[in-house]
Structure 1
Amino acid sequence: MDSQIELEFKKSKSGDKDERYEAYQNILKVTDQKVDWAYDVWDQLLEDLTHKDNHQRSRAAQYLANLAISDSEMRIMKDFPKLWEVTYDEKFVTARHSLQSIWKVGIAGTLQKEMVMEYMVERFKKGTDEKNYTLIRNDILQNMKNLYNYFNEESIKQTALDLIATVEDEKYQKKYRNIFK
């Protein structure tokens, strides 16, 4: 890992809000492509998923999701439950930011995509007792839309449409259908 990226990770944990945000944006931008240093930060990011600071948990989850494309050892297959746990964070904004990035794990490969889809389908079906479950469902469907756009696989779209068809509230069913228009 080059010194600039190391510095960005340090800045993303620093006290200055603007500096943290800029570093966060830079790390996300860099990790949108494959990098050769994913394992230099992997274990620390796993640890940060349970950090006392919710911002650290959120950033760690988003960075790990982005780094899945650089995970040649497929560690994410074992570590995904830890990442998924942050999507249930006590701070809803942390949970939501983590959930909204989870689709990026799915673009790392077929096994990763299938795993992410499985988790999301299960949550969509069984998550109605969660607070803000309509927003969570919206995020899940948007993740599926992102995966569909990436892979152009009709089965992803069909899975989402099948889930939408199970929604009893017409208002939300319409809202969710609009994601796939």
Structure 2
Amino acid sequence: MDEDLKKAFEKSKSGTKDEQYEAYLDILEITDQEVDWAYEVWDQLLEDLSHTDNHQRSRAAQYLANLAAKSDPENRMVTDFPQLWEVTKDKRFVTARHSLQAIWKVGLAGEAQKQLVMDAMVDRFENGTEEKNYTLIRSDILQNMKQLYEHLEDESIKNEAMRLIELVDDPKYKKKYQKIWN
């Protein structure tokens, strides 16, 4: 990892709000490609998933999702996924939502990772109706499935999404969810 990137990681934690945001965007862009330094920051990012600052938790989750998608040749995410998934249930809804919206990328890494992501999302869709804002969470889950489907062209993902939509009783939300896939 070069010095500029090390500084970006530092700024994403301790810079001014503008510096943090700029560093965050830079890191997301860089980690959207394969990198050879993922494991230099991996353990720190795992630790940051439980940081006291919700912004750090959110950023760590998003960075890890990006790194897992393209830069995890040791398949560490297969073991670390439960820690990442926990952030999608963060007490701060914006943190949870940003983390959830990025989680689909983990599924790009391979069959085992795709299955982890799909199983977690399906379970939450089916059993998460007691959660606050569950209709938004369901919408994000279906959007994640759509993203995975578009990248992997795996019909089983689309079929599962259609099955989940059929479980929805409220016609307003059923229509909203179907629109994601149209």
TM-score, length-normalised on structure 2?
0.98
Q: Please, which runs of 5 or more residues in structure 1 have no aligned partner?
A: none
> For each residue in 1:77-107, what CA deviation from the matched residue of structure 2 results, as whole angstroms up to 9, or x when unmatched?
0000000000000000000000000001001
CA distance in 1, matches of 2:52, 2:8: 21
**Residue 167 of structure 2 corresponds to residue 166 of structure 1:** yes
Name the CA distance, whole Å, in 1 between partners of 2:57 and 2:41. Answer: 14
1:65 is aligned to 65
- 1:100-139 matches, cutoff 5 A: 100-139=101-140
Query: What is the distance in 1 between the residues matched to 2:123 and 2:175?
Result: 21
Deviations 1:97-142 (A, max 9, x none): 0000000100111111111001100000000000000000000000
1:45 is aligned to 2:45: yes
Bigger mean CA offset, 124-133 vs 15-24: 15-24
Counterpart for residue 93 of structure 1? 94
Once residues 7 and 110 of structure 2 are traced to their aligned partners in structure 1, the CA distance between those partners, rounded to angstroms, is: 30
The residue that corresponds to 1:14 in the other structure is 14
Match of 1:54 in 2: 54
Distance in 2 (CA, whole Å) between partners of 1:52 and 1:98 is: 16
- The aligned counterpart of 1:80 is 81
Deviations 1:2-33 (A, max 9, x none): 11111110110124011100000000000111
* Residue identity matched to 2:47: E
Give the Å deviation of 1:45: 0.2
Unaligned runs of 5+ in 2: none
- Residue 13 of structure 1 aligns to a residue in which SS? helix
1:30 matched to 2:10? The reply is: no
SS in 2 for 1:73: coil
Identity %: 67
Which amino acid is 1:121 matched to?
Answer: V
The residue type equivalent to 1:103 in the other structure is W
- More divergent stretch after superposition (15-24 vs 162-171): 15-24
- Distance, in Å, in 2 between the alignment partners of 1:130 and 1:27 is 31
1:54 is aligned with what amino acid? N
Q: Across the two proteins, how many residue pairs are aligned to each other?
A: 181
SS in 2 for 1:66: helix
Question: Moved runs in structure 1, 4+ residues, more than 3 A?
Answer: none
C-alpha RMSD over aligned residues: 0.6
